[in-house]
A and B are shown apart, each in its own frame.
Chain A
Amino acid sequence: QQPVQSPQAVILREGEDAVINCSSSKALYSVHWYRQKHGEAPVFLMILLKGGEQKGHEKISASFNEKKQQSSLYLTASQLSYSGTYFCGTVSSGTYKYIFGTGTRLKVLA
């Protein structure tokens, strides 16, 4: 079952902040975040591992609540380049496959 992301879509002005949530019904081993520009391939942003380790983007932060099986992506002081669709990719404990969420469309206006 796919992780559920919220909100489905959000519109921001440059400089504003946004939070994107990802919730899974399964126990998670790690959470990955990707951003996809229109007509392009998804591009890796960051990985969050059990135990709190993070790997990835310098200007975007995220959290991973293992007990609640949730992750949140924090976009601060948004830039025009942040526009796109954001996907969380989850790896469940005991499996070796990426299951992606439903996506969140984000648009940043000047």
Chain B
Amino acid sequence: DAEITQSPRHKITETGRQVTLACHQTWNHNNMFWYRQDLGHGLRLIHYSYGVQDTNKGEVSDGYSVSRSNTEDLPLTLESAASSQTSVYFCASSEYPDLNTEAFFGQGTRLTVV
């Protein structure tokens, strides 16, 4: 079955370190998204991509970057981790260009910055 997987599921890192969260999907979807989930804020869009070599900033992109070298993967990098980036991160994918289809979410990565 097609799926979308995130790794690691849990990570603790120190302030100032670079961290990369992986997202891999086997749906062959062109659209991929990264969100962070914080209490009181719901899911907030960090970055998104419509296909290989395409990346776009979302609403809360400061301190984060993504790259899309193939259809299956959209890794999220925290350039210099800060305590404010402690959160649960979700990756999602959907078909392109039709956004009138559901988004499929990964299981999430809980990141703690100490």
Residues of A that sit less than 8 Å from B by CB = 1-2, 5, 29-30, 32, 34, 40-44, 47, 49, 55-56, 87, 89, 91, 96-103
Contact = CB atoms under 8 A, between A and B. Distances in A.
Interface of B: 31, 33, 35, 40-45, 48, 50, 56, 58-59, 90, 92, 94, 96-97, 99-108
B102 A96 contact: no
Nearest to B41: A102
Given A96-B50, A100-B42, A103-B42, A44 B103 contact: yes
Given A2-B42, A42-B90, A97 B103 contact: no
Nearest to B101: A47
A34 B40 CA distance: 17
A98 B97 contact: no
A2 B59 contact: yes
A10 B56 CA distance: 35
A41 B97 contact: no
A29 B100 CA distance: 9
Contacts of A98: 33, 45, 92, 94, 99, 103
Contact of B40 (A30, A99, A102): A102
